Amino acid sequence: MALWPHNDVLNRSLPCPAGGRASRIDVRPGMGDDSAMTSEDREPAVQVRLRSVASVDEVYATGGTRPDDRADGGPEAQAPVVRAAGHREVTSPFEDYGPVDPRSALGGIERWAVDAMFAGDEDRYTPVGDVTAKPVWYGPSRGSMAMSIGIGLLPQYRGRGIGSQAQFLLARLLHERGIVRVEASTDVTNIAEQRALVKAGFTFEGVARSAQERRDGRHYLQVYSSIRAST
């Protein structure tokens, strides 16, 4: 049984008007390990919001280009594209897992579309990817549940600060629910995501050895966490 009806909690944490459209959330990036994004920082060129969705297909329901809709010939079209049931298309070697074990989809995964508004768009948001959160239990008590988050962005929107904003928003949402520990992991060679997590206020904790199997073998992961401040 789900611990929270996620749409209801999302509405409380990130208010949505009637019709299910998420209100805009302005996020301003900070710099460095000890500086998460705050309202005091400079306005970003891209503004990001999270929109609760029930499935991968809903991520792009309002428009945008899916990874498998790209025209042939560009460098992004050469990225591997794999679709497993319940999973987004794969456009990065860091997500090319090969055959997916259906048990990996169990355990209450929640998903949000990542929408971005770029300079000059005049309140028009474009779906650019998605983020997910899944419970991780460190003991049987309710307070022992952490949430592990993940992110996937379309290739043309990477490297623009969207990932750090989206992961900051998701961590904040989960902390507002009462989750003390929000964690994320990424390949030891994925420098871009490591920087995005630090910019989003996460702290590097260490390396999980041989933690992930992908199509090309086993990989080490760097582990990061965001800990809710004591109240």
Q: Give per-residue pLDDT as tens, 74-93.
A: 333 233 323 333 445 666 77
**pTM for the whole thing?**
0.69
pLDDT at position 132: 95
Band of residue 103 on the pLDDT scale cut at 50, 70, 90: low
Query: Which range is most confident: 13-17, 22-26, 156-160?
Result: 156-160
pLDDT at position 80: 30
CA distance 119 to 102: 40
Mean per-residue pLDDT for 146-162?
95
pLDDT at position 62: 63
Domains and CATH numbers, the chain: 6-14+44-227 (3.40.630.30)
Average pLDDT of the chain? 74
pLDDT at position 169: 97
Q: Are strands 203-214 and 217-227 parallel, antiparallel or unpaired?
A: antiparallel
Q: Give per-residue pLDDT as tens, 125-149.
A: 999 999 999 999 999 998 999 999 9
Give 123 or 219, the one with higher predicted confidence: 219
- Map the chain to HEC letters: CCCCCHHHHHHHHCCCCCCCCCCCCCCCCCCCCCCCCCCCCCCCCEEEEEEEECCHHHHCCCCCCCHHHCCCCCHHHHCCCCCCCCCCCCCCHHHCCCCCCHHHHCCCCEEEEEEEEECCCCCCCEEEEEEEEEEEECCCCHHHEEEEEEEEECHHHCCCCHHHHHHHHHHHHHHHHCCCEEEEEEECCCHHHHHHHHHCCCEEEEEEEEEEEECCEEEEEEEEEEECCCC
